[in-house]
Amino acid sequence: GESVGLHLPTLSVQEGDNSIINCAYSNSASDYFIWYKQESGKGPQFIIDIRSNMDKRQGQRVTVLLNKTVKHLSLQIAATQPGDSAVYFCAETSPYSSASKIIFGSGTRLSIRP
C-alpha cells in the first residue's frame, strides 16, 4: 500500500543551527512531493515542493532533497529560528491519483532551543 513515513517523530535544534527532517516514502510511482509546516491551531502551510524529475530544489532558507533510488526525501532549514517551531509533514501524490489525493506522513515536531 501507499505510505509516507518519517524517521524521527521529534527533533530539537539549537537556534541558529541547520535542521534536517527526513522522510521515507514507499510508492515508487509518486512523482510530486511536498513539505508542509503546521503550527498549533492552524492548517498545514506549504513550504516547498519537488517533482520526481529533480533531485534538489531550494527556497528561502529551505532546501528539499529527493533520492528516488532509496525513496527518501529530506527538508533542510538553514539558520533555524524560533518561528520555525512546528510540526513538519512530508506528503506525496502520484499521477495515477485522479484527484488531489495527497498522502501525508505522521509528522516531525521541530522544537528550537534558545
Partner 1 sequence: DAGVTQSPTHLIKTRGQHVTLRCSPISGHKSVSWYQQVLGQGPQFIFQYYEKEERGRGNFPDRFSARQFPNYSSELNVNALLLGDSALYLCASSSGTAGEKLFFGSGTQLSVL
Residues within the interface to partner 1 (CB under 8 A): 4, 31-32, 34, 36, 41-46, 49, 89, 91, 93, 95, 97-107
Comparison of 43 and 114: residue with beta carbon closer to partner 1? 43
Q: Which is nearer to partner 1, 81 or 106 (CB)?
A: 106
User: Strand pairing partners for 77?
Assistant: 19, 62
Least CB distance from residue 29 to partner 1, whole Å?
A: 13
Q: Which residue has the cell 533520492?
A: 67
Q: Which is nearer to partner 1, 84 or 92 (CB)?
A: 92
Q: Kindly state the smallest distance separating residue 114's Cβ from partner 1, in Å.
A: 26
Distance CA 33, CA 30 (A): 8
Shortest spacing between CB 99 and partner 1, in angstroms: 2
Q: In whole angstroms, what is the distance from residue 50 CA to residue 31 CA?
A: 8
At 10, phi and psi to the nearest 5?
-135, 150
CA distance 114 to 96: 45
Where does residue 28 rank: exposed (0-12), middle (13-18), buried (19+ CB within 10 A)?
exposed
| Residue 88: CB minimum distance to partner 1, A | 10
Closest CB to partner 1 among residues 60, 114: 60
